[in-house]
Structure 1
Amino acid sequence: MNSAWKTNFTTFAAYLKLNRGYSDHTLSAYRSDLEKLPAYLDLRGWEMNPDRIERFHLDDFIQYLAELGLGPRSQARLISALKTFFGYLLDEKIIPSDPTELLKAPKLGRKIPEVLTYQEVRDLLGVIDLSYDHGLRDRALLETLYACGLRVSEATDLKLTNLYFDQGFIRVTGKGNKERIVPIGGEAIHHVEIYLEYVRKVLPVIKPEAENFVFLNRRGGSLSRISVFTAVKKYAAEAGIEKNVSPHTFRHSFATHLIEGGADLRAVQEMLGHESILTTEIYTHLDTDFLRETIMSFHPSNQR
C-alpha cells in the first residue's frame, strides 16, 4: 500500500472522528475494510492512487472477495465503507469523480429480531428478587431498557444529570455521541427512584469517575455491558423463556410493541435514534398478526 492510500486513510479517520464522532472501534473496522482494496490492487499489479480508481476496479474487487467467501452482509458493510471514503475524497477534491456512485450493495434478506411478548417481558421482570440490592438495580435497569428502547450501552452510560423525571423524559447519548430525548413511563421511573434511594444512595463508596452514572456495580463503579447481558440471560432462564434473549431484545420489543399499538413510525425512529427510517421499518414486518386482527375486527366489510 503506497503513501497516498495511507495518507488518505489517516485524514479520513480524523474526519470521521471529529465530524461524525465515530468511536475508535468503528474507525478500526472501517480501516480494516478499506485496506483490503489497495491490497487487492497490489495483488493484481494495479499500482495506482485513489484518484485513478474506476468503477470496474471496484466491481472486480467485490467479485474477488465474494469468490473468497465474503458473505452478502459483509459485502454490504464493505461497500458502505467504500462509498463513505470516496464520498469524502470527492468532497475534499482529491478525486475528480466518485467511482462508487453506481456501486450497489448485494440484496440482503432482512433478519427479523427476536421479540418478547408483553407478558414475557412482565414474566422476566417478575422473577427478579427485589430483596437484594442488585435485584432492585437490575429491575430498574431492565424497566428502563424496555420503557425507553435503549441500547445497553446507552443505559449503562445514563447520567444522573440527564434524568428529568418531573417532565417524564431522559436525555440519552447514542451512537456518534448524538443526544436525543426519550420519554420514560411511570413504572420505570418508580423502580429507578427506589434503586436510587435505597441502593445507590447507601453504597459505601462510589468511584470518582462513576459519580454521575445512574447504574453502578457493587463496588461503586460503572456497570459493564457484559454483566447486564449475563443478568438478562439468567432472568430469562428463570422465567422459562426459551427465546434467545439479550439486553437488545428489550429494545426490539419496545419498538415492536409501540408499532403494534399504532405508534407513528417516525416517532419510533426518533426514540430509537435511528438515522434512517428504513432501519426502523424492520419492525413493521413483525406485526402482521396484529394488523390482520385489527382489519378483521374494525374494517366495516368484516362487521356483518
Structure 2
Amino acid sequence: MQQFNKEWLLFLDYLKIERNAAIKTIEIYQKDIEHFLLYVNNENINKLNNVNYITVRNYLTILYAQGLTKRSVSRHISALRSFYKILVREAVVTSNPFTQISLPKQSYPIPQFLFDEEMEKLLAANELETPLGKRNLAILELLYATGIRVSECVQLKIEDVDLDLHTVLVLGKGSKERYVPFGTFAKDSLNDYITYGRTQLIGRHSNPQNYLFLNAKGNPLTARGIRVVLNKLVQNAGLTIDLHPHKLRHTFATHLLNNGADLRAVQELLGHSQLSSTQIYTHVTKDRLSHVYKNAHPRANK
C-alpha cells in the first residue's frame, strides 16, 4: 500500500470532499483497494498504469477462489472502478481497466421480516415499570415506526425528536438528513421514556451528551446495546426468531408496501438513494398479492 500511497490519498480526498462518504464507507473502500494493491505488488507491477484487462481477470479469479460471494466481488469491482476513475481524471493513469469488467449477476435474497402477530408479541414483552423497560419499548416502537438504521438510531439527540409534529430528524448515509414521521404509539412510548425513563437513567457520573437513548449507566447506547435489547425482548416474548435491527427495517418497509404504500414514498422514508435498493421488498409484496389472489378469486383454482 505504501508504494501507491499517493494514489490512495488522491482517492481519499475524493471520498471525503466530493463524496462526503461516511467513515465506515471509507474503511470498506480502503480494505478492498488495499487487497488489490497487495495483489498488484505481489505480481511485481510497479505502476498502476501497467494494470490491464488480463491483470484484472486474474485478480477476479483469485477473489472467487477465496470463496467471496458475487455480491462481495461486485463490491470490489465497483470500488476499484471508482478508484481508477479518479486516477484517470487526475492523469495518474491513462485508462480504467475495470470499465471492461461486468458486474456478476446477483440473486438478491428476499428480506426477512416479522409478521404482525410476532411484532405484537414483541411490543407486549416490555417491562414498562422500569426505566430500561420504557427505553426498550421506545426503541422498538421507533425502529418499527420509522425503519431507521440502528446506526442512525444511536446517533439521535433529544432535539431531533419532535413529539408535536410526530417526526424525527435522521442523519443517514453520506451525512444526508431526512425527516421521518412516526405514529401515535411511537409518540406515546417516546414521551413516556423521555419524561420518566431517561431522567432516571441519567446518573451523577454519566455523560449523556443529549443523546436520546441511554444505557443503564446513563451513557449513550451503542448499536451493540440495541442488539442486546432486541435479543432480550425476543426471549421475553417466547419467540424462536433471529431478530437483528435490520429485520425491523425490513418489517417496516414490507408492512407499508403490503398495505398499499407507494414504492417511491418508502424509498424516501428508508433514505435509499436508488430505487433499486427499495425494490427488493416488492418480491415480498408480490408473494402476498399472489396468495391473496389465489384465495379470493373464484376462478384462481380448480
Question: Secondary structure at the residue paired with 1:35?
Answer: helix
Q: Structure 1 vs Structure 2: percent identity of aligned residues?
A: 35
Counterparts in 2 of 1:58-207, with a 5 A limit?
Answer: 58-205=56-203
Measured in 1, the distance between the counterparts of 2:103 and 2:204 equals 48
Q: Pick closer, same or farther for the CA change 1:175–1:208 going to 2, 3 Å.
A: farther
Is contact 1:137–1:195 with CA below 8 Å preserved after alignment? Answer: yes
Q: Using the TM superposition, give the Cα deviation of residue 281 of structure 1 relative to its aligned residue in structure 2, in angstroms.
A: 0.9
Is contact 2:202–2:219 with CA below 8 Å preserved after alignment? Answer: no
Paired letter, 1:65: L
Counterparts in 2 of 1:286-297, with a 5 A limit?
Answer: 286-295=284-293
User: What stretches of structure 2 of length at least 5 have no aligned partner?
Assistant: none
Measured in 2, the distance between the counterparts of 1:289 and 1:68 equals 35
Measured in 2, the distance between the counterparts of 1:94 and 1:208 equals 51
Q: Pick closer, same or farther for the CA change 1:211–1:65 going to 2, 3 Å.
A: closer
Is contact 2:131–2:200 with CA below 8 Å preserved after alignment? Answer: no
> Deviation string for 1:223-244 (max 9, x for gaps)?
0111210111121122222221
Match of 1:275 among 269, 273, 276: 273
- Matched residue, 2:214: 216
Paired letter, 1:27: I
Is contact 1:147–1:184 with CA below 8 Å preserved after alignment? Answer: yes
Output the aligned Cα RMSD: 2.3
- Matched residue, 1:253: 251
Measured in 2, the distance between the counterparts of 1:64 and 1:148 equals 41
Is contact 1:140–1:191 with CA below 8 Å preserved after alignment? Answer: yes
Measured in 1, the distance between the counterparts of 2:196 and 2:38 equals 58
- Matched residue, 2:43: 44
Measured in 1, the distance between the counterparts of 2:241 and 2:288 equals 20
User: What stretches of structure 1 of length at least 5 have no aligned partner?
Assistant: none
Comparing 227-236 with 69-78, greater Cα deviation is found at 69-78
Question: Secondary structure at the residue paired with 2:214?
Answer: coil
Q: Pick closer, same or farther for the CA change 1:274–1:136 going to 2, 3 Å.
A: same
> Deviation string for 1:198-246 (max 9, x for gaps)?
1223445377863321111232210011121011112112222222111
- TM (normalized to structure 1)? 0.90
- TM (normalized to structure 2)? 0.90
Comparing 275-284 with 14-23, greater Cα deviation is found at 14-23
Question: Secondary structure at the residue paired with 1:107?
Answer: coil
- Matched residue, 2:235: 237
Q: Pick closer, same or farther for the CA change 1:239–1:208 going to 2, 3 Å.
A: closer
Is contact 1:269–1:277 with CA below 8 Å preserved after alignment? Answer: yes
Q: Using the TM superposition, give the Cα deviation of residue 297 of structure 1 relative to its aligned residue in structure 2, in angstroms.
A: 7.4
Is contact 1:149–1:255 with CA below 8 Å preserved after alignment? Answer: yes
Is contact 2:201–2:214 with CA below 8 Å preserved after alignment? Answer: no
Comparing 197-206 with 102-111, greater Cα deviation is found at 197-206
Measured in 2, the distance between the counterparts of 1:278 and 1:207 equals 47
- Matched residue, 1:12: 11
Paired letter, 2:149: R
Q: Using the TM superposition, give the Cα deviation of residue 268 of structure 1 relative to its aligned residue in structure 2, in angstroms.
A: 0.8
Is contact 1:16–1:22 with CA below 8 Å preserved after alignment? Answer: yes
